[in-house]
Structure 1
Amino acid sequence: MLTRLSIRNIVLIEALDLDFGSGLGVLTGETGAGKSILLDALGLVLGDRADSGLVRVGADKASATASFEFAKLPASIAETLDDADIELEPGEPLIIRRQLKADGGSKAFVNDQSVGVALLREIAGALVELHGQHDDRGLVNPRGHRALLDRYAGTDVDGLATKWREWRAAEERLEAARGQVEQAKLDQDLLIAHLAELTSLEPQAGEEARLAETRATMQKGEKLSGDLEELRHILEGSDSPLASLRVAARKLDRIGGEHPLLAEALAALDRAVIEAGEAEDKLAAAAEALVHDPQALDEAETRLFELRALARKHRCEVDELPEKMREMRSFLNAIEGGEAELDALEDAARKASEAYATKAEAVHKARLAAAKKLDKAVAAELAPLKLDAARFLTAMGKLPEEKWGAGGIDSAEFLIATNPGADFAPLNKIASGGELSRFILALKVALAEQGGAATVIFDEIDRGVGGAVASAIGERLARLADGGQLLAVTHSPQVAARGGTHYLIAKSSSGTVTKTSVALLNEAGRQEEIARMLSGTEVTPEARAQADRLLEGA
């Protein structure tokens, strides 16, 4: 609820700090004293358009700050703050500040964190519900009427929303499967041709690297074949260097014992023979590895080029061709087995649709019953509020299928007819300002609304009425305020007497400077103000006595 409102340099208010509590608080004062300034300041906090005309003459900027406290932060506010990365600890007040410059610029802050004005508008509905002479939000807005009726009826809207989501999910799966099958059918002939082409080659993962290596090796063999053949001739035969070394080693072996140096020479010669033999073996192995088979080279090159051409055709790497084959087979299998899958998905979607329709119809019946009950409850409230000739109707209708949703298949709108025989029409199209406020009061009393805004404000709901009607209004306002917070700007002493707290708004002038002030009245002050409201300019003893009777009866 609203716990504090601080105003600086707005119109006639230089500086003002107001504390508010729970229950019914009333604001009174002479006409023109500045009650609307308080609402304008609160409107700034709630995201209303910045008007430089609100800045007090002579000041360069104005500001309004409102503090709200909650036993539990409403979910809608918590989600909005979370999206804006604003942390609010349990029990911590929500403080909204709006600054307005004389040149028209404005800034907004939530708990000292800069925010856009759009965020203020987003959370405003859960903070304050304002009903005044030109109310176009809250209960007047037909977009919220179905939700209000659901809260009144206690309908299972969460269960209905679940059925809707399940139906939509089933329909989306079905449409996705249909699209896949239809696309596969369109591509079927081309897929078959591509798959046949790939199947004829049967590409294998890693094959490109192996073929490229084989081709490169064969090409090296082709290039080195002449040199290898020449080396073979050099190393082979009876007159080859290796053969000569062996002959020399045998001869030296016979005389090696004659001198130590001969033995060393023999050992060196043996090593040379061994090394030369190893070289001969390596050359033979290399010649075998680099053997050049023109036909094999041609086959390797042909397959390698075919694989690369297919990869370019399908815009992928050669190693991805096996996966392309599997995808094509999957598409073709979808065509063959698609009808059976579609049948199963269609059955699931049909069952989900029926489940939603069944739930929606049950909710529809609950809404119809609640609408009749609500109409009777509102009708019972109209006569005491001097609206006995008026009629109230909760108009129910069924939406076309394309507008069905998580909220069901119904439309709901609150309508009124102010005169006998007149047609029903939306609240704000027929009722005058005072009538509209009283209709809203009757509706709120009938709804016994839970889960609405933390603070409810009625601006001059008693305009144009008095006596018993004003007493009825005061009694209903007090009833609505029980356990919550309701503020009423009023000119009626009967309403003012019902207030748990009473604020007097007064205007004073000093030379050319006019200021508005607000004071919290004690019991004596309340009696005097209510007496003034009863008697006018001059407060009489009779008016004070009547004020006492009103206060005692409240």
Structure 2
Amino acid sequence: MLTHLSIKQFAVVTEAELAFGPGLTVISGETGAGKSLLVDALGLISGLRADSGVVRHGADRAELVADFTLADTPTALAWLRENELDEDDGCQIRRVIRADGGSKAWINGRPVTLSQLTDLATRLVEIHGQHEHQALMSKPSQLALLDAYGRTDTPRAAVASAARHWSALLQERDALSARGDVSERTAWLEHQFTELDREALDAGTIAKLQADHRRLAHASDLITACEGTFARLGGDEGPSLTRLLQQARHDLQRVSEHEPRLLEVNAMLDNAAIQIDEALVLLDRVRSDLELDPDAFEGLERRLGRLHELARKHRVTPEQLAAHRDGLAEELEVLRTAGVRVQQLDGEIETAKTAWQEAAAVLTEARQAAAKSLSDSTTALIADLGMGGGRFDVALEPVDANRPDPNGAERVEFLVAANPGQPARALRKVASGGELSRISLAIEVAALGLDAVQTMVFDEVDSGIGGAVADIVGQKLRALGASRQVLCVTHLPQVAAKGHAHYRVSKAASEGITRSAVQRLDAKAREEELARMLGGVELTKEARAAAKRLLADVD
């Protein structure tokens, strides 16, 4: 819901601040005062392209700011989160148009493109009037409104799911078919796989092979080191280290009664002797395992050389050869079964197509019923709104049923015949702005505001009507305001009296410059404004009395 609109240096408006609440807010004023500028401002907030002509003469830029609460607009809140533009449960849109024609836009203080601005605004505001940016003019919006009216969520979800499944199968078949003759690729892969599969490529085997190779490559040095160490520790080259430790312990034990700390030293030497004995045993075992074997070393050289050659050939490391081999095996399996899979897919695609067509038929039936009901209800309402003999139709236009369309087997076009005997034409081609606004109002009232947008703006919805019809228009707008926030620019007192809130736009000349001002009316000022709308420049007793009656008649 729109809560606040700020306008600065826009056309003839120097500065204006408007606060909005729920229900119906009406905007009135003298002809030429700038009532529709508020609608124009919301249009620019919604992403319409602007030129320098909207900047007030003498100013360097115009600035527009709109604040919304999103508690009742989950689609807008979801869009903001998806685009990482969310800020709690509120939203502020700011648009600046420079006098040189450039413009910038921000959402919650972050710069955005006009495309992003438009995407968000379609979820926040619908503008009905003489402008091409009306939401109800677009076929996707018309389809969404019909589906909301017919409550087709379940069949529509079934159609979308069936379309996704059908589309995925088609893509899989296209990918397989795009490969063409795969015999050469298969033969090449089989050769590559066989070459790799001859070798033991698991990580453990390669690691042991490399370790064995290193040991044999340094066997001579290892043997020399082991024998020399054994000789020095075991006493072959002088006194045994174990015997020396025993002699040292014996000497310490004789005097340790005089110095208790020597007992601790003795224990350390005892542990050292044990460690040396264990080291000698392991050293002897290692030496026994070592031998100079040129034939074995040559064999290891050949195996490692073969692995490195394969790694270079396949552009991987030796450790990655096993994974590469497994990848070749997987691709081979896919290619070998590709022909069989294509034949399977043909059958699965036909089944998926049938499933989509059946789901689409259910959705079409629901839409046909909703279209008739919406057509009848709207036709009755446009007659009440001063277009007697007019007709509203919802046309369902079939689309190609041989393609997986998630939106179903038809598109929607709203058609209108404004006068008796005239052929129905597309709503977007209706010429009269007033008729267009009233038809839009009738559609929204008939649909009970079922679309997700919470704020609806009607510009000059009462153009060309008066009397009893004007009163009915006001009643319908107020009724719509029970479920949606409605803003209406009007010049009829019968409509203005139905508002929950009332703004007046006035203009005045100062120093040769015309400026417009916007004022929220209290009860007394509102009565005066309705009297002016009823009686013209001079406010007579009769006009004031009529204004009081209009306000008294509002529920």
Which band: TM-score by shorter chain? 0.7 to 0.9
Quote the Cα distance in structure 2 between the aligned partners of 1:428 and 1:42.
20
Give the aligned residue type for 1:141.
Answer: S
Quote the Cα distance in structure 1 between the aligned partners of 2:12 and 2:525.
23
Rate the CA distance shift 1:465–1:197 in 2: closer, same or farther, 3 A: same
Counterpart of 1:75 in structure 2 is 74
Rate the CA distance shift 1:341–1:522 in 2: closer, same or farther, 3 A: same
Partner-residue secondary structure (3-state), 2:4: strand
Partner-residue secondary structure (3-state), 2:122: helix
Rate the CA distance shift 1:182–1:203 in 2: closer, same or farther, 3 A: farther
Quote the Cα distance in structure 2 between the aligned partners of 1:520 and 1:288.
102
Give the aligned residue type for 2:146.
Answer: L
Partner-residue secondary structure (3-state), 1:414: strand
Rate the CA distance shift 1:67–1:220 in 2: closer, same or farther, 3 A: closer
Quote the Cα distance in structure 2 between the aligned partners of 1:513 and 1:337.
82
Counterpart of 2:164 in structure 1 is 165
Counterpart of 2:93 in structure 1 is 96
Q: Which one has the largest radius of gyration?
A: 1
Counterpart of 2:190 in structure 1 is 192
Counterpart of 2:434 in structure 1 is 434
Counterpart of 1:257 in structure 2 is none
Of 23-32 and 319-328, deviating more is 319-328
Give the aligned residue type for 1:386.
Answer: G
Rate the CA distance shift 1:420–1:193 in 2: closer, same or farther, 3 A: same
Quote the Cα distance in structure 2 between the aligned partners of 1:452 and 1:543.
40
Counterpart of 1:490 in structure 2 is 490
Give TM-score scaled by structure 1 length: 0.77
Tell me, yes or no, if the aligned pair for 1:418 and 1:431 is still in contact at 8 Å: no
Q: Is it true that 1:142 corresponds to 2:139 in the alignment?
A: yes
% of aligned pairs identical? Answer: 38
Give 1:150 shift: 0.6
Quote the Cα distance in structure 2 between the aligned partners of 1:215 and 1:127.
73
Quote the Cα distance in structure 1 between the aligned partners of 2:290 and 2:121.
88
Q: Is it true that 1:290 corresponds to 2:292 in the alignment?
A: yes
Partner-residue secondary structure (3-state), 1:134: coil
Rate the CA distance shift 1:301–1:376 in 2: closer, same or farther, 3 A: same
Quote the Cα distance in structure 2 between the aligned partners of 1:135 and 1:342.
49
Query: Where do 1:512-551 residues align within 5 Å?
Result: 512-551=512-551
Tell me, yes or no, if the aligned pair for 2:186 and 2:336 is still in contact at 8 Å: no
Partner-residue secondary structure (3-state), 1:59: coil
Query: Where do 1:390-401 residues align within 5 Å?
Result: 390-401=390-401
Quote the Cα distance in structure 2 between the aligned partners of 1:487 and 1:86.
26
Rate the CA distance shift 1:364–1:299 in 2: closer, same or farther, 3 A: same
Tell me, yes or no, if the aligned pair for 2:167 and 2:404 is still in contact at 8 Å: no
Give 1:479 shift: 1.3
Quote the Cα distance in structure 2 between the aligned partners of 1:352 and 1:398.
20
Ranges in structure 1 where 5+ consecutive residues have no aligned partner: 229-241, 243-277
Counterpart of 1:151 in structure 2 is 148
Quote the Cα distance in structure 1 between the aligned partners of 2:148 and 2:48.
28
Question: What value does the CA root-mean-square deviation take over the aligned residues?
Answer: 3.7
Counterpart of 2:315 in structure 1 is 315
Give 1:17 shift: 1.8
Rate the CA distance shift 1:329–1:116 in 2: closer, same or farther, 3 A: closer
Query: Where do 1:20-419 residues align within 5 Å?
Result: 20-70=20-70, 72-90=71-89, 93-155=90-152, 156=154, 157-169=156-168, 171-172=170-171, 178=176, 185-199=183-197, 205=203, 289-293=291-295, 302-334=302-334, 350-401=350-401, 404-419=404-419
Give 1:407 shift: 2.0
Give 1:35 shift: 1.1
Q: Deviation digits for residues 316-367 of structure 1, max 9, x if unmatched? A: 3344444444444444444556666666666655544443332221111100
Quote the Cα distance in structure 2 between the aligned partners of 1:112 and 1:324.
51
Rate the CA distance shift 1:291–1:479 in 2: closer, same or farther, 3 A: closer
Give the aligned residue type for 1:189.
Answer: A
Q: Deviation digits for residues 219-274 of structure 1, max 9, x if unmatched? A: 889x99xxx9xxxxxxxxxxxxx9xxxxxxxxxxxxxxxxxxxxxxxxxxxxxxxx
Quote the Cα distance in structure 1 between the aligned partners of 2:306 and 2:334.
29
Tell me, yes or no, if the aligned pair for 1:397 and 1:412 is still in contact at 8 Å: yes
Give the aligned residue type for 1:110.
Answer: I
Partner-residue secondary structure (3-state), 2:474: helix
Give 1:168 shift: 3.7
Ranges in structure 2 where 5+ consecutive residues have no aligned partner: 225-235, 237-279
Give the aligned residue type for 1:78.
Answer: L
Rate the CA distance shift 1:152–1:287 in 2: closer, same or farther, 3 A: closer
Partner-residue secondary structure (3-state), 2:48: coil
Give 1:486 shift: 1.0
Of 54-63 and 442-451, deviating more is 54-63
Counterpart of 2:230 in structure 1 is none
Give the aligned residue type for 2:542.
Answer: E
Q: Deviation digits for residues 277-312 of structure 1, max 9, x if unmatched? A: x9xxx9xx899822444xx66655555544444433
Rate the CA distance shift 1:398–1:22 in 2: closer, same or farther, 3 A: same
Give 1:460 shift: 0.6
Partner-residue secondary structure (3-state), 1:406: coil
